Amino acid sequence: MRRVLSVIAGLIAAALLWEGYKAAGDPEGTVLFGVRVLPRADDLSMPHLWTILGRLTDPEMTGGRPVWIVVLDACLFTLGITAAGFLAGTLIGLVLAAAMQRFRIVERGLLPYVILSQTVPLVALAPLIAGWGGTLMPPWASVSVIAAYLAFFPVAVGMLRGLQSPSAAGAELMRSYAAGWWRTLVKLRFPAALPYLFPALRLAGAAAVVGAVVGEISTGTRGGIGRLIIEYSREATSDPAKVYTAMLGAALLGLLVAGAVSLLELPLMRHRRHVEVVTL
């Protein structure tokens, strides 16, 4: 109950901030030394919240479907791409982390490239991967590849740190039980890594959403929320509220993915919830 209330309070605070700035801010934006430091607050740049919400129920185009259905449809499409990319990225990240933990030489050789991979600009990479769409794989899958490319990184780095987190005593104990690498991984290293894995999964989830949205735009894939943002922003001068409906959809997508990770965390991190120490 308290959680629900705090979520509602957060939403109200965000709405107040938006409308408050709109009421108090300069419609032309605040310009200091020729640089606009605060955005314009006019109706064209920041439509009223009720205009945006109202736009959701209006038809997309004259006689078309209502905008909220179009946005929701696009969200579902992108959610599928995100989920595929997130799962693939997570799997790759986990395997890389396990390999790096197992073999020191792999860690030394691979980790720099794992980090390097994230410094390659996505715009440079996207056209190459987009080329795979339609030949090697369906176009949506090529967008998933981009999402996975962004998502694997936090998982690989976070999980490696987590797998290395057990103390030497824990590893020795497993050795005394004659447990090999695999059983030590399953019984000791993997459970010990969970507190590191979940923050990494949150980052990976966000990265997968960004990857899917940006990937859709740069590969020109139709049907998703990324494409919708681009399409609607072209109409921003005549219909400024419309593009914000698409952005709401993208935000919803992020929340969904974060919620999914939290659901996964609940049963696995049960031991962290009881913290009262019995002293007998």
Partner 1 sequence: MTAVVVSGLTKVFNQGRGDEVLALSEVDLTVGDGEFVSLIGPSGCGKSTLLRLIADLIEPTAGTVTVADRPAAQARREQEYGIAFQQAGLFEWRTVRRNVELPLELRGVSKAERRAKADRMLELVGLADFAGHYPGQLSGGMQQRVAIARALAVQPPLLLMDEPFGALDEMTRERLQSELLSICAKTGTSTVFVTHSISEAVFLSDRVVVMSARPGRITASIEVKLPSRDEAGRQAPVYFEKITEVRQALRA
Binding interface with partner 1 (CB under 8 A): 167, 169-170, 172-173, 175-179, 183, 187-188, 191-192, 194, 271, 274-280
Question: Quick check: helix, strand or coil at residue 32?
Answer: strand
Closest CB to partner 1 among residues 80, 166: 166
Q: How does 12-27 read in b/e, with b if 16+ C-beta sit within 10 Å? A: eeeeeebeeebeebee
Partner residues linked to 181 by β-bridges: none
Closest CB to partner 1 among residues 183, 234: 183
Sign (positive or negative) of CA dihedral 28, 30, 33, 35: negative
Question: Quick check: helix, strand or coil at residue 30?
Answer: strand
- Closest distance of CB 263 from partner 1, Å: 18
CA–CA separation, 55 vs 69, rounded Å? Answer: 12
CA–CA separation, 110 vs 120, rounded Å? Answer: 16
CB 225 within 8 A of CB 76: no
- Closest distance of CB 276 from partner 1, Å: 6
Closest CB to partner 1 among residues 103, 177: 177
Closest CB to partner 1 among residues 2, 274: 274
- Closest distance of CB 164 from partner 1, Å: 16
- Closest distance of CB 163 from partner 1, Å: 14
- Closest distance of CB 177 from partner 1, Å: 5
Closest CB to partner 1 among residues 43, 172: 172
